[in-house]
Structure 1
């Protein structure tokens, strides 16, 4: 498999910034301040990368006075009148799509951001903040103390709306990432044998993911056995850290998320260990698949995100399973992160071509578990399945 994902042309990033500026103007803002965090993680890097193709690999490090500030964070100052300014903590690469004069590389990210706001004439401006859940309180305090006349207002909705519909280049990246993730899942399921640990299974998948240039985000894993003496085996830190070994007749489930070229793959599968399981267990595997397929089948002109959720969760109730677990929705959009729309009952967002959606469902009963997740592209004529891992491993 090629380790080089498709590329997004530089002009697309310029067009995105222009659209963001237009939306900021329409909202009565003088500028946007976009904050993202990277640092070797995939938590909340998306907005700055969406607008510039910049990602910082420097790990989060607490500020140290007179030595550095804001490490692992990047800021884009985007005035409605004037040039953008990107403040970064590692050197600019050639694939960062801003002119060199518009990029500031520094150890003092917060101080440079304050100066960029001041130079852009935004000291007494109304500025939309994108990424307020990412910016530490200490950073916000430093900026507002230095520029007491600045007025920040939440503006995440601007980027949320823009990122909801994927461009052809983004779709190509998501298609590529989903194939990489599917091959990882197939390798993991092949390693689900008696005597294997959860760590052994993840290690098998990593043999496929790493050569493809991918990065693991998470791997929710569990195994166990239902019936009169049910058991469940899982661990939180790391999720694959349980020392217990699988036994024939156990069930196993894994939900994996990872990144290739900045774009996310997300899928889950279940398996009977040792090729030996009961019809009762298989019925839960099939129930999870049925719920996901019901949600996907509800995609049609005029459908809303809530309609899809109602279809999938309604199927779960029809099959006799409670709606419970760590995630109560049927799924979500996906791109550079978890994107809108969220597939929850009553969500009014219309489903439109260009959305990439993950449908997921875990069902549990009497110690038995079934888990299934797929990623689909909404097209003009229906859908395209992006994940293609083996559907039934039993």
Structure 2
């Protein structure tokens, strides 16, 4: 089978667009800082521009090294990019930047490179604030020999990554197809006598064999089904309690397949025979998400409009919404006042929240989700990955059965 891929020339096109946006913002360069290593939640911006992630695990700093599991791209608006990595051992030659420099002390190496490139007296935007640590900045300044002030520039890459190219859409279609196999294997193992951990393990075997890795799996069942996750420890799934017939179970799984994310949720009852309250909850969670998706009008609908549409549906159908206090023990909805987010090389923004004014456009990809609760019944989770088209929305995860009960 031939797998989809991003053409080499697309990486240079992306960098040129980032340069142009930086220049329009009055910046002279961008530093794109990335955390990857043994985590997958913050590699997207660097991967988007270079096809590179650090392979080394994130470990504490020492005198001789810093920022293991991180990497940085220095992208001048005029001039060639420089990629700095803490670990350079790439057997497949994936990197799409010519000037690649290894730095055991990555933060110090970045500071020295900025000085060598004559950028310290210029305006520099920082992309990757969520993973750029105070400790890294202190070492960077020490190597630069002077204070260094970065301007926030995360919005540049968020904007560039929001509209997907044809090759990215192909990658996301493939991710959704792998996600279906992952979810099917997980749900098939939700049988009497198994634990949540057994089901998670069955799914992960399929995911790994098909080129994916998990960021996380949120699963909860039976008496814990009112919660988003079945365990508050590590791991996030219960490996002691055996599933019983009639247990309500919901599964939300997400992670990258060859870099691009799949992220969706399904719910069921062990044995496939829900009682009346469970069936109302399961059907309601599906109906809510498809109701929100049906409201997508490209070029017109804002992310906040989808939020309003979702809360109105919950109110009209007797479910707790994000501002309700009527959902008994489950306060997850208040902690996560949201109906989803953009998706691509990660769990991306913008988010489907009350105040997000971004207008939805064709070739955006969005994960639409909600954990829906009912008093005395529990909670059900449902989520779909959506490609916005010129006409409306195509559900990329539609091949994965949403009704898993009789």
CA–CA separation in structure 1 for the residues paired with 2:30 and 2:261: 25
Residues 1:232 and 1:74: Cα distance change in structure 2 (over 3 Å): closer
**Superposed counterparts of 1:168-179, under 5 Å:** 168-179=166-177
Q: 1:300 aligns with which of 280, 292, 297?
A: 297
State how far apart, in whole Å, the 1-side matches of 2:78 and 2:381 are. 50
Q: How far apart are 1:148 and its partner, in Å?
A: 2.4
What is the CA distance between 1:147 and its match in structure 2?
A: 4.4
Out of 360, 372, 378, the position equivalent to 1:351 is 360
Q: Distance in 2 between matches of 1:17 and 1:124?
A: 22
Provide the C-alpha distance between the structure 1 equivalents of 2:132 and 2:58, rounded to a whole number of angstroms.
12
CA shift at 1:90, angstroms?
2.0
Q: Is the aligned partner of 1:392 residue 2:389?
A: no
Q: Distance in 2 between matches of 1:344 and 1:225?
A: 30
Shift of 1:233: 8.1
CA distance in 1, matches of 2:183, 2:312: 28
Question: Is the deviation greater in 55-64 or in 231-240?
Answer: 231-240
For residues 64 and 244 of structure 1, the distance between their equivalents in structure 2, rounded to whole angstroms, comes to 42
Could you tell me which residue of structure 2 aligns to residue 95 of structure 1?
Answer: 94
Choose from 366, 381, 386 the match for 2:391: 381
- The answer on whether the counterparts of 2:73 and 2:81 sit within 8 Å (CA) in structure 1 is yes
- Superimposed CA distance per residue, residues 305-337 of structure 1 (whole angstroms, 9 cap, x where no aligned partner): 111121122111111111242422111000011
Unaligned runs of 5+ in 1: none
Are the counterparts in 1 of residues 367 and 383 from structure 2 also a CA contact under 8 Å?
A: yes
Partner of 1:11: 9
2:204 is aligned with 1:195 = no
C-alpha distance after superposition, 1:41-81 (max 9, x if no partner): 1021111111100011100122221x322211100011112
Residue 44 to residue 343, structure 1, CA distance change in 2 (3 Å): same
Mark the CA change 1:108 to 1:362 in structure 2 (over 3 Å): closer, same or farther: same
Deviations 1:327-371 (A, max 9, x none): 221110000112222111232110100100101011112132221
**Superposition map of 1:53-202 within 5 A:** 53-65=51-63, 67-91=64-88, 93=90, 94-99=93-98, 102-145=99-142, 146-148=144-146, 150-202=148-200
Output the CA distance in 1 between the equivalents of 2:363 and 2:396.
13
Task: Identify unmatched segments of 5+ residues in structure 2.
Answer: 323-331
* Secondary structure of the corresponding residue to residue 110 of structure 2: helix
CA distance in 1, matches of 2:311, 2:242: 33
Deviation at 1:232, TM superposition (A): 9.9
**TM-score computed with the length of structure 2 as normaliser:** 0.91
Instruction: Measure how far apart 1:384 and its partner are.
Output: 1.6
Partner Cα distance (1:128, 1:356) in 2:
26
Equivalent residue, structure 2, for 1:209: 207
* Displacement after TM superposition at 1:123 (Å): 1.8
The question of whether the paired residues in 2 share the 8 Å contact of 1:309 and 1:344 is answered with yes
Q: CA-to-partner distance for each residue in 1:278-329, whole Å, 9 max, x for gaps?
A: 0110100011111101110001141111111211221111111112424221
Q: Write the distance in 2 (CA, Å) between the matches of 1:233 and 1:344.
A: 22
Shift in CA distance, 73/232, structure 1 to aligned 2, threshold 3 Å: closer
Structure 2 residue 326 is matched with structure 1 residue 329: no
User: In the comparison of the two structures, how many residue pairs are matched?
Assistant: 387
1:241 and 2:238 matched: yes
In the alignment, does 2:20 pair up with 1:22? yes
Name the structure 1 match of 2:252: 255
Structure 1 residue corresponding to 2:274, chosen from 273, 277, 288 = 277
Contact 2:126 2:151 in 1 (8 A): yes
